Amino acid sequence: SKGNHRHFMLKEIYEQPIVVAQTLRSYLQRLEERVTLPVPDDFDLAAIRRVTIVACGTSFYAGMVAKYWFEQFARVPVDLDVASEFRYRAPVMEEAGLMIVISQSGETADTLAALRHAKAEGQKIAAVVNVPTSTMAREADLLLPTHAGPEIGVASTKAFTCQLAVLAALAANFARARGRLSPDEEREIVTHLAEAPAALNAALSYDEAIAAMAPAVAGARDVLYLGRGTDYPLALEGALKLKEISYIHAEGYAAGEMKHGPIALIDEAVPVIVIAPSGPLFEKTVSNMQEVQARGGKVVLISDAQGIAAAGKGCLATIEMPEAHPLIAPLVYAVPVQLLAYHVAVAKGTDVDQPRNLAKSVTVE
């Protein structure tokens, strides 16, 4: 049931602190300060030489965040593809390769076909899947379950943050297996991941503020989302959520790509949502944001208190997030993009849980 919530989507957004904690519990050994995956004996992470991540939609964006983590922490080369492209591009699959499929349902036809193709080519298969009885869960060599519980709203929310939690744990485990993580660094990762549920709770406390500014976006015909680094996939996810449930045309761009074309779209009628936590990439993204403002663009800045103090002036609105370590920032910043899409859709009166033309599980290719 929806409980006290008006829609399943909102209920599932609010479940995130609990289900992320639930998911992390099976991967973090808090007392030993270690990350432990359910890895079978014959599965040697240290022997993996290349990773291929394949998924669709929101699950693909979780994979995109994971690519940054795998490269940064484990220094392992990562290929990333949407499943429908992977299958038809003659991918080169080297020996000792690992394919990671990511899927809420575990039944998405394109992702499943990619899994089978890679398996036939001798790749090891890891599956980050929410439905434990699904086909992908059964066919994988290494099952890494998310414990989000049933997701009813067609727009994926809690499955995404749980996928990120599992992928962060996998990145840490990979890094350790490859000799790239000292016990101190591992302790630090475990500590920060364990902070995620509280940080998600803090992010949810801005719900009313986001609802209050949603009407400023609801009247737009087009909306752009910008981000850099792991905030780039979040920009893509924000745009996907908005177009799915509010039917407003939205696109996500890497902040630095704006000046290579999309900036031509900017005028006062196009809200630009900028996702920019303070940190090493902040200044760069803010300078892209100022290019937008210089052309009359209306910016909604999603950042922390420090970022908003530094760059919030002149914005149409700001959405303040709690301070978050860069490792958990993608989980935290998922919340405001989900809530913004939700409240814009409610303001427009669309069917939030059952958007037109969409199905929860896409079992056709």
Residues serving a catalytic function are 360
Tell me the HSE value of 271 on the side-chain side, using a 13 A CA sphere. 27
- Give the nearest distance from C-beta 358 to ligand F6R in angstroms: 7
- Give the nearest distance from C-beta 230 to ligand F6R in angstroms: 18
Task: Tell me: does residue 246 bind ligand F6R (CB under 6 A).
Answer: no
For ligand F6R, give the closer residue by CB, 212 or 359.
Answer: 359
Residue least distant from ligand F6R (Cβ): 57
For ligand F6R, give the closer residue by CB, 156 or 246.
Answer: 156
Q: Give the whole-angstrom CA distance, residue 78 versus residue 69.
A: 10
Answer for which of 16, 23, 52, 103 binds ligand F6R (CB under 6 A) is: 103
- Give the nearest distance from C-beta 156 to ligand F6R in angstroms: 4
Task: Tell me: does residue 108 bind ligand F6R (CB under 6 A).
Answer: yes
For ligand F6R, give the closer residue by CB, 153 or 297.
Answer: 153
User: What secondary structure does DSSP assign to 88-126, as a single string?
Assistant: TS-----TTEEEEEEESSS--HHHHHHHHHHHHTT-EEE
Number of residues located near ligand F6R, criterion CB under 6 A: 15
For ligand F6R, give the closer residue by CB, 59 or 161.
Answer: 59
Binding mask 156-185 for ligand F6R (x = CB under 6 A): x-----------------------------
| Residue 122, both tokens | 């001798």
Answer for which of 104, 135, 161, 303 binds ligand F6R (CB under 6 A) is: 104
Task: Tell me: does residue 355 bind ligand F6R (CB under 6 A).
Answer: no
Task: Tell me: does residue 140 bind ligand F6R (CB under 6 A).
Answer: no
For ligand F6R, give the closer residue by CB, 317 or 352.
Answer: 352
Closest CA to 104 of 35, 159, 30: 159
Task: Tell me: does residue 135 bind ligand F6R (CB under 6 A).
Answer: no
Task: Tell me: does residue 56 bind ligand F6R (CB under 6 A).
Answer: yes
